[in-house]
Amino acid sequence: MELRVRALETVLSEKGYFDPAALDAIVQAYETKIGPHNGARVVAKAWSDPAFKRALLDDASEAVGTLGHVSRVGDHLVAVENTPARHNMVVCTLCSCYPWEMLGLPPVWYKAAPYRSRAVKDPRGVLKDFGVSLPKDTEIRVWDSTAETRFLVLPMRPEGTEGWSEDKLAELVTRDSMIGTGFPLKPGAPS
Amino acid sequence: MNGVHDMGGMDGFGKVEAEPNEPMFHTRWESRVLAMVRAMGAAGAFNIDTSRFFRESLPPHVYLSSSYYKKWLLGLEDNLIAKGFVSKAEVAKGHASEPAKPLKRGKFTAGDVERVMVRGKFGRDAQAPAKFKAGDRVRAKNIHPATHTRLPRYVRGHVGVVERDHGVHVYPDSAANEAGENPQWLYTVVFDGAELWGPDSDPTLKISIDAFEPYLEKA
């Protein structure tokens, strides 16, 4: 694969379609600018600031755009809130749509057949693969990302975090808790 | 198209296996493939829907047995060859031997990188009033276009409820065929588990898709 990829890159750069240094810059930007820390800051802010939480659930792109320190975000970001009555889970059955500006590039399992095929039919079985179980009567809402809307799960704030700063709260927010295949860490649990 | 990429509800793929401490890229070439796809797309060689359609069009056995970024590479090669940006012979040789085809937005350079790090804008002005509103019961049409569509098979023919209206967006079914943006209203439509999977479905399950207006009819 390495050779085949290099061959294509050589042809395309010889034809003047891109500057190879610009490809380096793209890779570097993915490696340094995006990642679940962006989403974690948004979640921690929503846990701490009720007005921000309302704004986030109303129009997530706009609300996140007001946080200068978080990476720039595109249009059509939708935040969906977990409650004791409802758990949200995000999938893209058709390809790999994912809120990468908030969470970084998707992990391999998110893009692979087992998750894409089963999430919409047997989400509790999928959660079991992650070692996660929900109360029997909790509604499970699966969001299939079939358009250019992107979904970010707002998990429930863990108990025992009263008075915590946003920075400290953000450390509890895992990537999987923002996809809906996990929960935030509990205070005091090893990360 | 009714391809193997349309996986929702299929059985037999096994457990979800998460890799602990997964790196962003497993090899250098994966990162080059991603960067080439982003650069060529941003330079105007193709739109995102066309790019998806070329990956979906890989033969089913190739799609299922290739890693994610291998699919991206194969789709990119096919796409660029089909659009005349490179020839098959050039790809095989690994050197350019034919004149370049002009790119809509010109050569991709370092100054364009920031632009690709924010997702594109897909919202457009309405061409007509919305046919549906939140609360309406709608049926996903029983349609089977052979070309690109974002209506997954597992909802076709089934009845759901419009939950949210996202305004008007570029219509992938047209854009993928280079037939223009043809903007359409987009709605979140929610289905009960039992409506899609029958009486044995998890009774607590609800599934939503984001559906373009031409996918829906009044129920």
Question: Does A191 reach chain B within 8 Å, measured CB to CB?
Answer: no
Question: Does A8 reach chain B within 8 Å, measured CB to CB?
Answer: yes
Closest-CA residue to B71 (of B110, B106, B37): B37
Out of A18, A120, A148, closest to residue B8 by CB = A120
Is A48 known to be catalytic? no
Which of B97, B147, B162, B210 would best serve as a mutation to test chain A binding (most A beta carbons within 10 A)?
B210
Chain A residues whose CB is inside 8 A of the B61 CB are: none
Judge whether A67 and A86 are in contact, CB under 8 Å.
no
Instruction: Return mean pLDDT, chain A.
Output: 95
CA B150, CA B178: separation in Å to the nearest integer? 16
CATH number belonging to domain B123-218: 2.30.30.50
Contact A114/B28, CB-based, under 8 Å?
A: no
Interacting residues of A27 by C-beta distance below 8 A, sequence separation 6+: B25, B31, B32, B34, B35
Chain A residues whose CB is inside 8 A of the B70 CB are: 1
| Strand bridging mode A86-91 / B216-218 | unpaired
The answer to whether position A90 is within a domain reads yes
Residue B126: what pLDDT?
A: 96
CA A175, CA B202: separation in Å to the nearest integer? 26
Residues of chain B with CATH 1.10.472.20: 28-116
Q: What is the share, in percent, of chain A residues with pLDDT greater than 90?
A: 91
Chain A residues whose CB is inside 8 A of the B2 CB are: none
Judge whether A76 and A99 are in contact, CB under 8 Å.
no
The range of the structural domain enclosing residue A54 comes to 35-179
**Angle at the Cα of B207 (from B203 to B211), degrees rounded to 5?**
150
Task: Tell me the fold of B28-116.
Answer: Cyclin A; domain 1 (1.10.472)
Q: What CATH code is carried by the domain that includes residue A75? A: 3.90.330.10
- Does position A191 have pLDDT exceeding 60, yes or no? no
Chain A residues whose CB is inside 8 A of the B118 CB are: 72-74, 101
Judge whether A81 and A47 are in contact, CB under 8 Å.
no
Question: Does A20 reach chain B within 8 Å, measured CB to CB?
Answer: no
HSE value, Cβ hemisphere, 13 Å, CA-based, for B44: 7
Each residue's pLDDT tens digit, B111-169: 999 989 888 889 999 999 999 999 999 999 999 999 999 999 999 999 999 999 999 99
Closest-CA residue to B85 (of B109, B117, B119, B50): B50
pLDDT band at B100 (very low <50, low <70, confident <90, very high): very high
Chain B residues whose CB is inside 8 A of the A147 CB are: 122, 150, 166, 169, 172, 186, 210-212
Instruction: Return mean pLDDT, chain B.
Output: 97
The answer to whether position A28 is within a domain reads no
Out of B94, B112, B209, closest to residue A11 by CB = B94
Q: Among the listed ranges A40-44, A97-101, B118-122, B125-129, which one has the minimum average pLDDT value? A: B118-122
Judge whether B32 and A5 are in contact, CB under 8 Å.
yes
Out of B31, B94, B152, closest to residue A94 by CB = B152
Please tell me the total count of domains within chain A. Answer: 1
- Tell which A residues from 134 to 163 touch B, by Cβ distance under 8 Å: 136-150
Contact A7/B154, CB-based, under 8 Å?
A: no
Is A13 known to be catalytic? no
pLDDT band at A68 (very low <50, low <70, confident <90, very high): confident
Give the residue-averaged pLDDT of A95-103. Answer: 95
Judge whether B120 and B38 are in contact, CB under 8 Å.
no
Each residue's pLDDT tens digit, B10-21: 999 999 999 999
Residues of chain B with CATH 2.30.30.50: 123-218
